[in-house]
Amino acid sequence: MNVFTTDKIRNVVLLGHGGCGKTSLVEAIAYLSGMTNRMGSTDNGNTISDYDKEEIKRKISLKTSVVPVEWDGYKINLLDTPGFQDFIGEAEEAVSVADAAIIVISGKAGIEVGTKRAWDLCEKRKLPRMFFVTDMDVDKASFRQIVQELQEMYGKHIAPFHLPIRENEQFVGYVNVIQQKAKRWNDKGTVDKSDVPDYSYENLGICRDALIEAVAETSEEYMERYFEGDTFSEDEIRQALHVGVVDGSVVPVLMGSNTLGRGMFTLMADIIKYFPSPDRCKCAGIMTQSNEVFEADYNFAKPKSAYIFKTIADPYIGKYSLIKVNSGVLKPEDVLFNYHRDVDERLGKLYTICGNKVEEVKELHAGDIGALAKLTDSQTTDTLSTRKVPVTYIRTVISKPYVYRRYQAVNKGDEDKISQALSKMMMEDLTLKSVNDSENGQTLLYGISAQHLDVVKNVLQEKYKVEIELSRPRIAFKETINGKSDTEYKYKKQSGGHGQYGHVKIKMEPSGDMETAYVFEQIVVGGAVPKNYFPAVEKGIAESVKSGPLAKYPVTGVKVILYDGSYHTVDSSELAFKVATEQAFKKGFMDAKPVLLEPIASLKVVVPDEFTGDVMGDLNKRRARVLGMNPIEGGLQEVLADIPYMELYEYDTKLYSMTRGSGIFSYEFARYEQAPEEVAKGEIEKNKD
């Protein structure tokens, strides 16, 4: 691929609901640009973006793909992101390096949950954006309705640039709202000028009013002229749109048909015309030696620096670190410093990446997106810079995973292979996490949703040839006591020669400290138990609290007092006192009103107003205590509740179903509480020998 200077680059992220047409839009653009000689489709499994076997099987995007397109002397780096919330981390990574966004809407399906989520992502990053309405060749597609809904949601920002011309149920052309002229497609795929159809004038008037209103919002002078009834020239409109699109006060709405390849030429022209090149964007880091701000601003003349926004660690194509050059010009064999890892990285060759294909490039200018192969230590969200001017950029905040399952190897002996494979997958996917829960004898896999974890399971089987079983996790219950006990145990064993003898008398009571498993005290007098056996007694307690006598869960908040006992000068040993203590602990614990404690989470659920009743009703069924509700901007409610961890199982699926995918939740550990009798009975019964 050719080398492009900063002013000739556009970095555009494609966002929108799953299935709205982002991937097919990339296909149409790639075909019309001459990159490919045929247009692929998700149904046929032959698209540039969705190359992974799991993506082809599910017919949805699971990962962000970078597709650099050369168009009219410019390089447009398109970042095609997954539309479903299950893979939100991929979209967050892409948005972090985009300079503008296209939010894709299916003209057939209309505005969906993913559309609103895409808008919110752009708002967080203050990204210039456009809407592109696909499926305009479908008879049921209603461009006018979508524009009206967008205006209701986002106000006067919305500026429709085009109107579809439909005749005999065919998408035959469009009206340019700025020029108030019509164009129709001909057999060559180009357009011919034509008159605006009579039936389009009413819609043209509505869209023209919306466009002019958006233009008027860009300055006080224009606003005054608008209210005075003045008209704007085409040049004035375009100039205002240039400013307005970049600062976010104008959001154009374009439309087309991906399958027919119509609307792409105007879209690409408007990307180049209205979206900012990186050198018109701000970008700042911190110089680690002085703590001063490093204003990179994608300036090619400043010291080299780059940000790693994504990692590909594929067993077939190898490891690539996807970067955005924030300053300077990167060249092959450059040596850059990773401040976070305190290592130098030799870059080797530079690449541009297109789906799963890499192409060598001579250099990467500030603002460009490229790939580096086989960096030794660097990871996603790390910064590369020079040792002379070490810089760090703010790491992208990636959504935290809250859904987890227990996982086990299907085939014994695969544990190491699974661990290595998961480590590579976690390098690629920052919303995936593996946790060793040694207290409860399980390994846990965390993800964004049950579907996310199901995809991980399938990828392990398909790519890494290892199988895991996902199951309901063992909840981290704990055991404690509410009463006191006084007990003893004498361990005596004769087996010829030296025997075993250990005798302890202990008292047990609540310690009052639920953060600590046990407190051990000894008040032995008269040498009934020699001091050298005290450590063995404590070791017996330490072993006992790992798996309690009630339901085999860890014990907490117990005080054990050794006050008496006896020993044998020949047969006593550390082992004998340890065993005697373990047996005394079991008996004493069960005599001291043992109870089961369950972990409680502080839950936060954010849902649209209309679903609040359903969510509250479901939380009550899950033994949750609703603590309150806070209204949030955009017609949302934040529901706060305390809920047992046990009741969070499959909550993501239920919430998705209740709110049609619009609800999100998060939680954190709050405390332990005594489990209700029926819950405790069930756990005790389940864990009986």
For residue range 295-353, what is the model confidence (pLDDT) as tens digits?
A: 999 999 999 999 999 999 877 777 899 999 999 999 999 999 999 999 999 999 999 99
**Which residues make beta-bridge pairs with 68?**
77
**Which residues make beta-bridge pairs with 391?**
287
Q: What is the mean pLDDT of residues 512-519?
A: 93
* Per-residue pLDDT, 589: 97
Q: What is the mean pLDDT of residues 425-432?
A: 96
Q: What is the mean pLDDT of residues 447-456?
A: 96
* Per-residue pLDDT, 497: 65
Whole-structure pTM value = 0.90
Per-residue confidence band for 127, with pLDDT thresholds at 50, 70 and 90: very high
Query: What confidence tens digit (pLDDT) does each residue in 366-382 have?
Result: 999 999 998 999 999 99
Neighbour-count burial for 449-467, b at 16+ CB within 10 Å, e otherwise: bbbbbbbbbebbeebbebe
Per-residue confidence band for 145, with pLDDT thresholds at 50, 70 and 90: very high
H/E stretch holding 88 reads: helix 88-95
* Per-residue pLDDT, 689: 61
* Per-residue pLDDT, 496: 63
H/E stretch holding 13 reads: strand 9-15
Per-residue confidence band for 470, with pLDDT thresholds at 50, 70 and 90: very high
pLDDT at 438 over 70: yes
pLDDT at 626 over 70: yes
Per-residue confidence band for 93, with pLDDT thresholds at 50, 70 and 90: very high
Query: What confidence tens digit (pLDDT) does each residue in 156-194 have?
Result: 889 999 999 988 888 999 999 999 999 998 877 778 999
Q: What is the mean pLDDT of residues 579-585?
A: 96
* Per-residue pLDDT, 266: 93
Q: What is the mean pLDDT of residues 495-524?
A: 90
Range name among 110-119, 167-176, 617-626 with the lowest pLDDT average: 167-176
Mean pLDDT over the full length of the chain: 93
Alpha-carbon distance of 557 to 521, in angstroms, equals 14
Q: What is the mean pLDDT of residues 533-552?
A: 94
pLDDT at 59 over 90: no
Q: Please give the C-alpha separations between residue 547 and each of 544, 640, 687, in angstroms, as whole numbers.
A: 6, 33, 11
553 near 546, Cβ under 8 Å?
no
* Per-residue pLDDT, 272: 97
Q: What is the mean pLDDT of residues 212-240?
A: 89
Per-residue confidence band for 9, with pLDDT thresholds at 50, 70 and 90: very high
Alpha-carbon distance of 655 to 607, in angstroms, equals 9
Q: What is the mean pLDDT of residues 659-683?
A: 94
